[in-house]
């Protein structure tokens, strides 16, 4: 069906999208920049409850009390450094070889066995946990969700705006804009988030009493591991290139 969209209506739709975007912008004292955030911390915490429950149900927990005690010992001073003692923090170590960890907006902390096998010290573990906690302080989850919502709204608007003269091309326009948004906005923004979390994570390490230089040592180890396994080019990745990441991280440690 061809969508007929008048010029006045187009202006109204464009104005509405612009107003919504402006309304969603706010200052973040932690990052020192303005952010697009349509969702609140409370909403994010609720959104995180279901994936956390699903992960708990689908992934076995490591039956090693000493491993969990180690993660808790490292995580507790980081939690104090974040100032977010309002969250219902909980630490779970999953029995999986994946080298990864995460902190959800609801305060749930997941660490995989593979990471514990890779880190060379508690300070290196603190570097990873500090980085993940920094994502929450910087409100990166809210920003990512908001950018996804704005992108979807923009693609839908494009279908309406261009449907008047080229209704038969609306699907193509949506596809092109969707692809362009993914590789032109969302992935680069994710890379900037990673660098920002590296910097803020180093600050959290300092406040928590850990050695910031351990962050460099850990990422050097991770980069060497990734080099053996192969990694995607930076342009197609959500993470910054290795040399760029190490360079920025060394600056943060030296600051």
Task: Give the pair of three-digit tokens for residue 4.
Answer: 């007929």
Which strand (E) or helix (H) includes residue 30? none
Catalytic residues: 132
Alpha-carbon distance of 148 to 164, in angstroms, equals 26
**CA nearest neighbour of 214 among 242, 253, 255:** 253
Burial group, residue 160, by CB count within 10 angstroms (0-12, 13-18, 19+): middle
Alpha-carbon distance of 236 to 3, in angstroms, equals 34
Residue 196's alpha-carbon distances to 74, 83, 114, 186, 199, in angstroms, are: 21, 18, 25, 15, 5
């Amino acid at each position: 069906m061809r969508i007929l969209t008048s010029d006045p209506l187009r202006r109204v739709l464009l104005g509405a999208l612009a107003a919504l975007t402006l309304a969603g912008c706010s200052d973040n004292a932690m990052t020192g920049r303005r952010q697009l955030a349509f969702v609140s911390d409370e909403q994010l915490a609720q959104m995180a409850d279901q994936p956390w429950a699903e992960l708990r149900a689908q992934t076995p927990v490591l039956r090693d009390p000493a491993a969990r005690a180690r993660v808790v010992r490292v995580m507790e001073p980081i939690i104090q450094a974040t100032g977010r003692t309002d969250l219902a923090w909980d630490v779970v170590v999953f029995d999986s070889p994946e080298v990864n960890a995460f902190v959800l907006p609801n305060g749930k902390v997941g660490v995989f066995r593979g990471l514990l096998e890779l880190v060379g010290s508690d300070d290196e573990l603190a570097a990873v946990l500090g980085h993940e906690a920094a994502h929450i302080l910087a409100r990166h989850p809210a920003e990512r969700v908001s950018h996804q919502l704005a992108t979807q709204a923009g693609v839908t608007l494009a279908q309406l705006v261009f449907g008047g003269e080229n209704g038969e091309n609306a699907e193509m326009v949506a596809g092109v804009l969707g692809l362009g948004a993914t590789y032109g906005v969302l992935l680069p923004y994710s890379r900037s988030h990673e660098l920002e979390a590296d910097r803020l994570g180093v600050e959290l390490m300092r406040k928590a009493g850990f050695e910031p230089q351990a962050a460099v040592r850990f990422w050097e180890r991770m980069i060497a591991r990734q080099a053996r396994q192969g990694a995607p080019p930076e342009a197609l990745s959500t993470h910054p290139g290795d040399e760029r990441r190490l360079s920025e991280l060394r600056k943060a440690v030296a600051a």
